[in-house]
Amino acid sequence: MRWFCISNDADVLTGMRLAGIDGVMAGTAAEVDAAVTRAVQDEGIAVLIVTEGCYKLCRERLDAIKLSAGRPLVNMVADSRGAGKISGSITRLIREAIGIRL
């Protein structure tokens, strides 16, 4: 099982590649959507790493994949501009999934 990264940040993608993780650059919603489709269709990809900027461009689809408990496991990481609201999105996702406010 492989990991795959979708990034809008060259520094993040370079770091992932140095760690042996393949990936693509995606700067528009259409590019992110195409990369997500590619990752979902590839049976060998178990973990999908998405930068925060790409997540914002394709939030609904990525949340649906997260909630499906299927493959691939979606993990959002900060880009080089900072952490942003990653923990807030996890809290929101839990609230939507089980209806409990944390």
At the topology level of CATH, where does 2-98 sit?
A: Rossmann fold (3.40.50)
Q: Identify the residue with better confidence: 90 or 24.
A: 24
Contacts made by residues 71-76, CB under 8 angstroms, sequence distance 24+: 71/43, 71/45, 71/46, 72/4, 72/39, 72/40, 72/45, 72/46, 72/47, 72/48, 73/46, 73/47, 73/48, 74/48, 74/50, 75/47, 75/48, 75/49, 75/50, 76/49, 76/50, 76/51, 76/52
Residue range 57-73, pLDDT digits in tens: 999 999 899 888 788 99
Domain boundary assignment for the chain = 2-98
**Mean pLDDT for the stretch of residues 86-94:** 60
Residue range 6-19, pLDDT digits in tens: 999 999 999 999 99
Q: Lowest mean pLDDT: which of 35-44, 56-65, 72-81, 91-100?
A: 91-100
